[in-house]
Structure 1
Amino acid sequence: MDIIVKNLCKSYDHNQVLNHFSCTFREKKMTCIMGKSGIGKSTLLSILMGLEKADEGTVSGMEHQKISAIFQENRLFENLDAVTNIHITTGKTKEEIAGFLKEMELDDVAGKPVSEYSGGMKRRVAIARALLAEYDILIMDEPLQGLDAETKEKVATVIKTQTAGKTVLFVTHDEKEAEFFEAECMELV
C-alpha cells in the first residue's frame, strides 16, 4: 500500500517547518527525501512514525504496518555488546546476528560492549539492528552519517540488498549518499 501524505503542517514555536506538504511514497520502493538542514525532513519522518503529531493534514498507508527505523542517534545500550543490542530488539538468534555482523565488518568486535566502539562502528550496529527487525517499512534518518566514504558505499550496498522489495523512506542532505542507494528522490523545500 502506498503511503499518502496530504496537506501536512507542523510548526515549532511559530516556526513552520512543514507547510501543507503532500506526496505519495510508493509501496516497495526506496524514496530519498532531500533538502537542506532545518527544512523538516526529520520532522516528516517523526510524523510518519507516529513519534510527533502534525498540526494539520493526514497520513494514510501506515496503518497496521511494521516499522523499523534508523534514527539520527544510534540509540544503543552502551554497556551491552552488538549481538545483545540487536537480539533484544529483533529476537534473532545469536548465530543470525553474528552472520550479519560479519557482513557489516563488525564480527571481530561483536562481543565487546558498544561503549568501546568508534562512532562509525556504532552506526553500523544501529543499521544492522534496524535491518534485522521484522518490518514492512524501513525509515532511515541520515543513515550513513559518521561513516567514511568507503564504508558508506559498502553499507549502502548491504542496505539495498536487505531492503529489496520493501518500502524504504530515508532523508539526507548529501546527494552522493542518495546516489549510493539509487533511490527515487524528492526535494523538500
Structure 2
Amino acid sequence: MTTLELLGVSKVYRGGKQAVDGLTLRMGPGLLGLLGPNGAGKSSLMRIAATLTRPTAGQLLFEGQDAVRRPEPLRAALGYLPQDFGVYPNLTAREFLAYLAAAKGVPAGRARTRIGELLELLNLTEAGKRPLGAYSGGMLRRVGIAQALLADPKVLIVDEPTAGLDPEERARLRTLLAGLAMERVVLLSTHIVSDIESVAGDIAVVAGGRLLCRGTPDELLAQVAGQVWEVTAAPGDVPALQARHTVSRMVRTPGGVRIRLLSPTRPYEGALPLTPDLEDAYLAAVGAGGAR
C-alpha cells in the first residue's frame, strides 16, 4: 500500500518566519483535504511533501523510506499541481504535455497515448490543438491536472486547484479528484470549505503552521454539536455580536439581521439551536487554534 508520512515537520524561512510548526500527517490511498486560511502554511507543507522544499526539522517518508535524503523514489511516483501553475501560451495542450512528458522521462510513444487518454478524461480533446493562451482558467487547471497525471503517479498533490474557477468548473474538478483518489494518495489543499466537504472523507484543519484537528466530516461536526445558534439582532448591535462570537454568516431581513454564530452555551435568550455544518466546524477549529 502506498503511504506518505510527514512526521513532526517544521519549516522556518530566512528571517525567522515559521511556516510549518511540528506538523504530523500520515496518508494512505484516498483523498485528504487540507483545509486552512490563507497564510496557514498549507503551500509550504505541500512543497515539502512534493520534495521541492527541505523541512527545517522532521521527516518525510514515502513507503517507509526517507524521502528527504533520497527524494528520487517519491519524485518518480509523484504528480504535483502547484497553486501558481504556468504554461507556455503559444503551445497547444498536446505540445505542452508532450514537452513535460519528455522532461519526466516518459517514452514518446507512451506519452502520445497517455496524452490522448488524459485529454479525453479531462474533456479537452477538442481543445487539444488550440494554443493554451486561448484557454479559460478552468481549462488551464485541467491541463495542470493532466500534467500531474502524465506518469500515472501513486501520489497526487494539488494546491488550491479551484482558485479562480466558476462554480461549475469547481464541481467538475472536485469530482475528478475524488475519482482519482480511488487508487492514489491525493492531498488536496484549499481554504474553501465547499471544495472538500462533498469529496473528502478525511479532513485536516491547519492554521499558523499547526495541525488543529483531523477526522471524518462526521467527527468534525460532532466537535461543534450544540454550539451553533441563530439570533436576530438590530443592525446597530451587529458589531458587538461579532466582537463577542465567531459569526459564520449574516442575512439582512425585514425583522433585523439574522446571524449564525458559534457559542458553547446559549448566547442570548431566544437564540435558536442549529445543526452544525462543516464551515461551522472549520471556523471553530481555526478560532480555537488562534487563541492558543
Q: TM-score, normalised by structure 1?
A: 0.88
- Output the amino acid matched with 2:46: L
Q: What is the aligned-residue identity percentage?
A: 26
Q: Tell me which residue corresponds to 1:132.
A: 150
1:35·1:41 contact (CA, 8 Å) conserved in 2?
yes
Count of residue pairs brought into register by the alignment: 188
2:92·2:130 contact (CA, 8 Å) conserved in 1?
yes
Q: Tell me which residue corresponds to 2:199.
A: 181
Q: Tell me which residue corresponds to 2:265.
A: none
1:70·1:139 contact (CA, 8 Å) conserved in 2?
yes
Of 21, 27, 40, the match for 2:23:
21
Provide the C-alpha distance between the structure 1 equivalents of 2:118 and 2:62, rounded to a whole number of angstroms: 30
2:32·2:201 contact (CA, 8 Å) conserved in 1?
yes
RMSD in angstroms over aligned alpha carbons?
Answer: 2.0
2:8·2:22 contact (CA, 8 Å) conserved in 1?
yes
2:174·2:196 contact (CA, 8 Å) conserved in 1?
no
- Output the amino acid matched with 1:67: L
Q: Tell me which residue corresponds to 2:4.
A: 3
Which residues of structure 2 form unaligned runs of 5+?
68-72, 208-292
Q: Tell me which residue corresponds to 1:73.
A: 84
SS at match of 1:151: helix
Q: Which moved more, 1:12-21 or 1:168-177?
A: 12-21
Provide the C-alpha distance between the structure 2 equivalents of 1:93 and 1:181, rounded to a whole number of angstroms: 30
Q: 1:94 to 1:60 in 2, by over 3 A?
A: closer
Q: Tell me which residue corresponds to 1:167.
A: 185
Provide the C-alpha distance between the structure 1 equivalents of 2:78 and 2:16, rounded to a whole number of angstroms: 30
- Output the amino acid matched with 2:170: K
Per-residue CA deviations over 1:48-73 (Å, capped at 9, x if unaligned) read 11111111111112642311111112
Once the two structures are TM-superposed, the CA of residue 146 in structure 1 deviates from its matched residue by 2.0
Per-residue CA deviations over 1:118-137 (Å, capped at 9, x if unaligned) read 22221111112213332110
Once the two structures are TM-superposed, the CA of residue 173 in structure 1 deviates from its matched residue by 0.6
1:35·1:187 contact (CA, 8 Å) conserved in 2?
yes
Provide the C-alpha distance between the structure 2 equivalents of 1:164 and 1:37, rounded to a whole number of angstroms: 28
Q: 1:48 to 1:147 in 2, by over 3 A?
A: same
Q: 1:134 to 1:81 in 2, by over 3 A?
A: same
Provide the C-alpha distance between the structure 2 equivalents of 1:58 and 1:121, rounded to a whole number of angstroms: 36
Which residues of structure 1 form unaligned runs of 5+?
none
Provide the C-alpha distance between the structure 2 equivalents of 1:6 and 1:103, rounded to a whole number of angstroms: 35
1:89·1:133 contact (CA, 8 Å) conserved in 2?
no
SS at match of 1:128: helix
